[in-house]
Each structure stands twice: as C-alpha cells, then as structure tokens.
Amino acid sequence: MHSRTDIDTPAKPTGAVVLLARSPLLLLALVLGVLAVLLSFTIPQPIGPMFWDHYLYLDAANRIRDGQIPSVDFFTPVGALGYYLFTGLQGIFPHGQPLLLASWCLLLATGPLIALVVVDVQKRSTALAYAILLPFLVFSVLPFNTGDFYPYPGSDGFGIYNRQVCQLLYVLAAALVHVRDRRLLVATVAGAMAALFFVKITGAVAGTLMCLMAFAAGRLPFRSAIAAGLAVIAVLAIVEVAFGGVSAYLADILALLSVNDGSLLPRLLQAASLNAGLLIPAGLLCLVLFGSHLSFFTQSLRQLGKSPSMAAIGRTFNQPVFWLTAFVVAGIIFESQNTGSQAFIFLLPLLLKLAIDEVATAKTRPAAIAVAILALAAALPPVTAVAQKSARAWIGAVNNVPLESRNLKTLGAVNVRPILALRAERLRTIYATERSAFDAFAKAGELPSFLLYSDFDFQAGWLMNVDDAIDALRAYEVSNGLRFETIFNIDFTNPFPWLMDRSAPRHVAIGADPFRAIPPPDEDVRAAIAAADIALVPTCPVTNVNQTLLSLYLPSLQTGHSRITLTRCYDAFVRNGLKPTANAGG
C-alpha cells in the first residue's frame, strides 16, 4: 500500500535532467529542429536587392547532381563547401525556399562546431555559454547582411558565402578565446579552418591571422596548433587525392586574381569606412586597453628581454589590445573583398571576454566602465542591423503580393510590393519596345540605372522573363521535335537547367560577372559552349554587362548555332543539326 507521500509528491527530476534543461545545447537543438520544420514547407520570401545572387546555388547543385565537380568541371568564384551543403540540404528538403536553404545550410558545419564550444564553456558558466550561443544563432538564423545596399526593405539574397565565412570566424573566435579543453580546441579550430578554406579563401586568411594571434598569446599551444594544422592538411590532401579539388580551386583563385588587378589599399579603406560605426568604438577601446595595461605590458617586455621563452612571449602578447587589434585587422582584410556580409560579428566573443575580464580585474572603476561601454558600442551595430533589416523585410512583406509563375518551382516562392510588380511588367514592355534606347546605354558602357541589379522591379521582371522563356522553350521543342539537353544562359546566373531538369555546359563559370569573376574562355570553355544545344541571350534590358559576356562567348556560337528571337525578352542561339526526338509528333 502506498503512503500519501508516495502518491501525491512527484518524483524529483534527476540532476542530469536539470542540467540538460538548462543547457544551451538544448536551445541549439530546438532551433535546428524549428529550422528543419520551416524548410519542410515553401515559405515565400520578399524579393530584395541583387536577389539573383543565391540562384548560383541552384545552378551549382544541379551541376553537382549531374556529376560535375566545382572548380574541377566548372569555374566558381568561391569554394565548393557551401554548394555541396546546399545540395545535400535541398535533397532532404526539396520544398525549402532556396534563399533559406542557402542561408541555413552552413549550420550543418557550424552547428556541431559551436556545440563543441558550448560543451566546454558551460562547464564553467551556463550564462557565458548562452552569451556566446545566442548571437551566433541570431546571425545564423536571420539571413541578412549588416550593410545596406538599397533603401527599401527586402531579403538579402546576395553575399551569402560572405555571411557564412563570418559565421565560421565567429565559431573560431569563440574557440580561441573561450575554450580551455585542448582536444575540443583542436577539433574546433581544425574544423573551422578547413571549412573556411573551402567556403572562401580570404576567410581562411583572416582565420589564420586570428590563429597566429592565439598562438603568440599562448592560447593555442604549439602542440595544439600543430595538431590542428595537420588535421586541416589531411582534409586538403584527401580532397586533392580524391578528385584534384584543392589544386583546381587554387587555380580558380589565381584566375580571379588576374581579373581583379586593382589596388588593395582602396578596398581596405572602403571596408573600414563601411564599418566605421563599429570600428570607431573598437579603435577607442584599443586605446583605453593600451593605457590601462601599459604597465603590465612594459613589465612583460622587461621579463622577455631578461629570459626569452615561450611563456614569456605568451605573457607579452596576451594583451587585450593585441587581441582586439589582430581581430580587427583580420576583419578589415576579409571585408575588403566583399559585397554583402555580416561584417565583424566574430568580434563579439572577444568583446565579451574583454568586458568580463576588465570589470573583474580593472584597477580603477572608470577604466572598467569605459571598457564595458566601448565593448557594447562595438558589439551592438551588427546585432541591431541584422535585427532591424529582418524586421523591416518580414513585417513589410505583409502587404506584398506573390509573384505569379508557372515554371519557376521554389525559385518563384517570392513576393513583392504590388506597385513594384506593376512597375516590373510595365518596364518589361518598355525594354522590349524601346530596345534601341537601351542598346545606346549598353554601347556607352552604362546601365539604365546605377542600381539596376538592386532594383526590386528588375529582379521581379527577371523572374517573369525566365518564366516566359521556359514556356517558349517547351513550345519550340514540341513544334520542332527537339529536346535541349544542355542549356546555357548568357547572364549572371543560369537557373534554366535546374528549372527544366536539364544540364548546364561543363567548364562554364557560374556567377558570370565579366568585370570581376570571368577569366577569358579557354579551349575547354569554347568547346563546351560550341556543343551547347541552346544559349539564351536576355534582352530586357540589353546591358553593357550582358553585351560583354556575349562578346566572350560569341566566337564559339557563330559557326554552329543560329540566332532566333525566342520571346520579346530573350534571343537564343540554337545549335544547328539538332535531331528530332524519337517520339516527336511532327
């Protein structure tokens, strides 16, 4: 017989259950679960500036499923990891909106890595673990850049791989600054550095500078640094031996450098000026930290002069001002090569550490207050920018209307303001009927609008043109008894093969910016273009960019293809001698 106490008093949860309920790891798991649910549905996103940048992931994923290997079989502006992660996630969630898939796919890599950081930090402080995890989740979940490139609110469909680099640098910074367990530190640093290399090479350069700072300060011991370096080299060796991916990737980087031969100094100044709201308080913080730790730094230098050793070197360089300066320099170098990013978010774990340590150890209260205020001033701009942009875009989308389409699959899961949808349709008519005017713009080397590719009406009209072109392609195939197996679009991006379940030509670059990202066509590229069944030429509007692209590829199309007018907004080069399909009706 049970006593009253046995029946009425609930059993107390075990200590393990309480720890699990309080653990930041549970929050991480819940967020990942929610994102998986959201990707199970097609959630339309408000169209935004340079929205077509993320269509590159669809092109790359379609090529990968066709057996093509990034850098080996086609030129890419960045590393292959993001494309492979997107391809895998799209296979799991075929109905996921492409922008969300591209933005969240990196969590397949950063999720486990930040979990390693949390496992170590929560042993000492659950609050500190949450303080590291929460900003990471904000930046990873909200697919927005910290900078503004257009006055109207919309989705940031561009600079995704730059955001991914910043999120990886955040994990790396959190590990270098906060993780004490040597094995977890080596695993996190090696994983983050390998991922940085295969996302964007400039991210690996920035990460290397951060690791060198940690090594000089003694936070990344020699054996740990060697172990992490050997792990990264092992990953690179496996990829190279398997399919030559590393050497091909480096060859692409060298080709990009040959195209982008501008001076580095203006880019560095531009990166600094664009992020002045964050860098000014960070610079002031450096001055305050230098002044408050000057005596300790001087003493460390004296000891280093008397008895040089690794420990003495570590004490000398393990100064807050050196940490912050090194991280800022790494960030400026990375941002000098970017358009769109979550700039300097990786400063947050360091700023958190500096504020905590200074408040705990500062000799004077004013110095501690100054450090805390300046650290907060440097940390807030990226957080507030991403939060504000996401709120503006998603709340403002309440009055948007869906973009009607027939052939765009999840690519068409977008919405736009009614007045901009109407403007897009009107401009398409003007582009088609007043073509001579836009030919004049192109001939003069000017776009019709300086912000043409950021204009929402251009991005909406571009999707409408693609939708119409697919109707025309299918009608042409039926009427001529043909099937275009390889489709090439002489434009920045080529979603046609994915939309029509066809193939893209091998060797041809994705992200076709002729002024920054397209090297001169070699023999393989020319042969692939000549063998393409059809090459599409957008004409609404004709632009100097597309005319430049056409001039690169036209020699490969002139002899074996015939130019036709496909729609009012697309011309096409159809390969001569295409044979009718076996089941053609006539």
Q: What average pLDDT does this structure show over 516-525? A: 88
- Decide: 488 and 505 in contact? Cβ < 8 Å: yes
Residues linked to residue 564 through DSSP beta bridges, in sequence order: 572
The pLDDT value recorded for residue 210 is 98
Residue 530, classed as helix, strand or coil, is helix
Q: What letter does residue 486 receive in the DSSP assignment?
A: B
DSSP element (H, E) containing 572: strand 570-575
Residue 518 pLDDT: 84
386 in Cβ contact with 142 (< 8 Å) = yes
Question: Band of the pLDDT at 538, cuts 50, 70, 90?
Answer: very high
What is the residue-wise DSSP string for 206-260?
HHHHHHHHHHHTTSS-HHHHHHHHHHHHHHHHHHHHHH-HHHHHHHHHHHHHHH-
Query: What amino acid occupies position 539?
Result: T
Query: Residue 18: what pLDDT?
Result: 62
139-186 per-position pLDDT tens digit: 999 999 999 889 999 999 999 999 999 999 999 999 999 999 999 999
Mean predicted confidence (pLDDT) in 115-136 = 96
Q: What is the per-residue pLDDT for 231?
A: 97
**Residue 523: pLDDT above 70?**
yes
Structure confidence by residue, pLDDT tens digits, 460-469: 999 999 999 9
- Whether 281 shows a pLDDT value over 80: the answer reads yes
Pick the range with the lowest mean pLDDT from 55-69, 185-199, 295-309, 562-576: 295-309
Residues linked to residue 571 through DSSP beta bridges, in sequence order = 537, 565
Q: Which of 112-121, 296-305, 343-352, 442-451 has the lowest mean pLDDT?
A: 296-305
- The pLDDT of residue 340 is above 60: yes
* Digit-coded pLDDT (tens) for 385-395: 999 999 999 99
Mean pLDDT score of the chain: 91
Out of 243-252, 422-431, 572-581, pick the least confident: 572-581
- Check residue 585 and give its pLDDT: 40
How many whole angstroms from its chain centre is CA 529? 29
Q: How many residues does the chain have?
A: 586
Distance CA 514, CA 529 (A): 16
Q: Which two tokens stand for residue 243?
A: 């399919």
Measure the CA–CA gap between 280 and 285, rounded to whole angstroms: 9
Confidence of residue 16 (pLDDT cuts 50, 70, 90): low
> Distances in Å between the alpha carbon of 410 and those of 44, 53, 94, 340?
8, 15, 9, 24
Q: Could you give the CA distance from residue 12 to residue 233 in angstroms, rounded to a whole number? A: 50
CA dihedral 491, 494, 495, 498 (to 10 degrees): 160
Q: Terminus-to-terminus CA distance in the chain, angstroms? A: 88
Does the structure show a pLDDT above 50 at 377?
A: yes
Model confidence band, residue 305 (pLDDT cutoffs 50, 70, 90): low
3-state secondary structure of 152: coil
| In the chain, % of residues over pLDDT 70 | 93
* Whether 584 contacts 577, CB under 8 Å: no
pLDDT score for 495:
96
Q: Residue 410: how many CA atoms within 13 Å on its side-chain side?
A: 21
DSSP state, 44?
-
